[in-house]
Amino acid sequence: METGEILGLLDLTLLDREADEVALEGLCNLANKHRPAAVCVFPEHAPLVGSMLDDGIALAVVAGGFPEGSSSPEGIADDVRAAVSSGAEEVDCVLEPRDEGDFPGEAELAKLIAMREGSQGCLLKVIVEAPLLGERGLRAVTRMALATGADFVKTCTGKRGICSDEAARIIAYEIGRHCLAFDGEPGLKLSGGVSSKGDAERLIGIVSEQDQSISGPARLRIGSSALLGELMD
């Protein structure tokens, strides 16, 4: 796969609350030079980053708790609205897993609705923290996220485990299954430990095996802070 194709799928990420203006400017300079799909930062950094990004590179913001998701639907909705107000065009929001038999249940449904309503038309990526879930839970929560209008299902934050081949396979299958029954073309964001071109190519191949239509930045993203440097080397 050509380097430029992978770059076009990249959500270039800097999630460091202590990042200063120099670091954020450096991030934007890299983005403007190499043209990833989006740049992803904390809400407090969004106004500055948004002012420095060239047109055509989306500003993505994490909201609703990161890396651990908020327990309050009302709090999630407020955080997502604040992210939108900060200039975000895309919102990445953690749906916190529970190690209980009824997961996902009414509590998760309420949170997902809050994310969708709070995002006010922005592209919504729901982070399902696949490393903390078994197969049943991962399939069920992916289906629920898609049913409530998620634009992307994102594998994980990368803070509590990495994106496994099996997680990529399961989520891609569930997205394809959803598209057979419902309108819309939701996407998949591969995140967590995707630090080399080989990682990216392997995971993209797994997704394509499940559904070849999950391709291009409108439906497939890679969240990484390290991948750009490796690709340039």
Task: Please tell me which residue in 92, 151, 199, 211 is annotated as part of the active site.
Answer: 92
**The one catalytic residue among 11, 189, 199, 211:** 189
Separation CA 205–CA 5 (nearest Å):
13
Residue 164 Cα distances to 101, 130, 179, angstroms: 23, 8, 23
Structure tokens that stand for 136 in this block: 């049943």
125 is catalytic: no
Distance, CA of 67 to CA of 127 (rounded, Å): 10
- Catalytic: 189? yes
Residues with a catalytic annotation lie at: 92, 154, 189
